[in-house]
Amino acid sequence: MVDNLGSCPFGGVIDMKDNNRKEEILKRSRRLQHDEGIEYAVTQGAKKGNYYAIEIIGLSMLMFSMIIGQWLVTYALASIILASWFGEFLTKYRILKQKRYLVTAIFFSLNGISAIVLFVRYAGILQGWWG
């Protein structure tokens, strides 16, 4: 066991088996030309790009449906977009534990619920369920 221990430059002792394992993984990664950091960055960039594209399209459709007076579509799109923003800010709150993200998530959830209520009410009026 003494053979696998080395000294750490900051004091103390390190296990050389762990270092050897890390070096083997790095060598294999270099040999395969596979960089997990770059792969992660590309994946996250693609996710963000898709998210923003969907948001822009959704907001554009929301504005257009408001302009032409299609309120049922407007409420449906608003509830979907607000639910998306609620999820984004709730996730940020859960990770970063900052109160502003929780407040923003609550704000979007209440607005999303309002949009759903308006959607159901307007659909009911159109269907003749209530006046």
Hey, where are the domains in the chain?
Answer: 2-31, 36-127
CA 111, 107, 109, 57 dihedral sign is positive
Say what the pTM is: 0.64
pLDDT score of 2: 45
Band of the pLDDT at 11, cuts 50, 70, 90? Answer: low
- pLDDT > 80? residue 67: yes
Spatial distance between the Cα atoms of 123 and 72, rounded to a whole number of angstroms: 7
- pLDDT > 90? residue 76: yes
Q: Which residue in this structure is represented by tokens 């209520």? A: 117
